[in-house]
C-alpha cells in the first residue's frame, strides 16, 4: 500500500527487441504525478497506440509535468534493428486510475 505522506518513486526500463511499437509499462493502473522519459541507447519515436511520431534522440529526455499514465506511452525504434533502451522514472500519484485528464 502506498503511503499518503511519503512519495513512491517509480523506475522502469525496457530494451526493444523488435521494430514494432512497444510499451515500457504494462500496468494501466499506475499514474505518475510527473515523469521523465530517457532514451539511453539509439533514438526512438514516442506516441500513443495509434502512432509514434515524436522523435527523441539518444541521450535526450522528455519531461511530463502533469499526471501521466505511462501505459499510454508507446515507443518504436527510430531505425529498424536499433534496439533502443527507454527508461521511465517518476513519482507515483496512485495505482487506482479513476478517470480525469491524462496528458500525453
Per-residue pLDDT tens over the stretch 63-80: 998 899 999 999 999 998
Q: Where do the domains of the chain lie, and which CATH numbers do they carry?
A: 8-94 (2.60.120.10)
Query: What cell numbers appear for 31 in the block?
Result: 499514474
- Cβ within 8 Å of residue 18, ≥6 positions away: none
Kindly provide the residue ranges of all beta strands, DSSP E only, lying in the chain, ordered along the sequence. 8-15, 22-23, 31-41, 44-47, 52-56, 61-64, 74-77, 85-94
Which residue matches cell numbers 512519495? 7
The distance from CA 60 to its chain's CA centroid, rounded to whole angstroms, is 14
Q: Phi then psi for 42, rounded to 5 degrees?
A: 65, 135
Per-residue pLDDT of 10-65, as tens digits, reads 999 999 998 999 999 999 988 998 899 999 999 999 999 899 999 999 999 999 98
Amino acid at each position: 500500500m502506498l503511503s499518503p505522506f511519503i512519495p513512491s518513486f517509480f523506475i522502469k526500463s525496457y530494451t526493444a527487441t523488435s521494430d514494432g511499437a512497444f510499451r515500457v509499462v504494462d500496468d494501466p493502473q499506475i499514474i505518475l504525478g510527473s515523469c521523465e522519459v530517457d532514451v539511453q541507447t539509439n533514438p526512438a519515436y514516442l506516441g500513443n497506440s495509434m502512432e509514434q511520431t515524436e522523435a527523441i534522440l539518444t541521450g535526450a529526455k522528455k519531461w511530463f509535468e502533469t499526471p501521466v499514465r505511462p501505459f499510454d506511452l508507446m515507443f518504436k525504434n527510430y531505425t529498424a534493428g536499433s534496439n533502443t533502451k527507454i527508461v521511465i522514472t517518476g513519482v507515483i500519484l496512485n495505482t487506482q486510475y479513476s478517470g480525469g485528464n491524462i496528458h500525453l
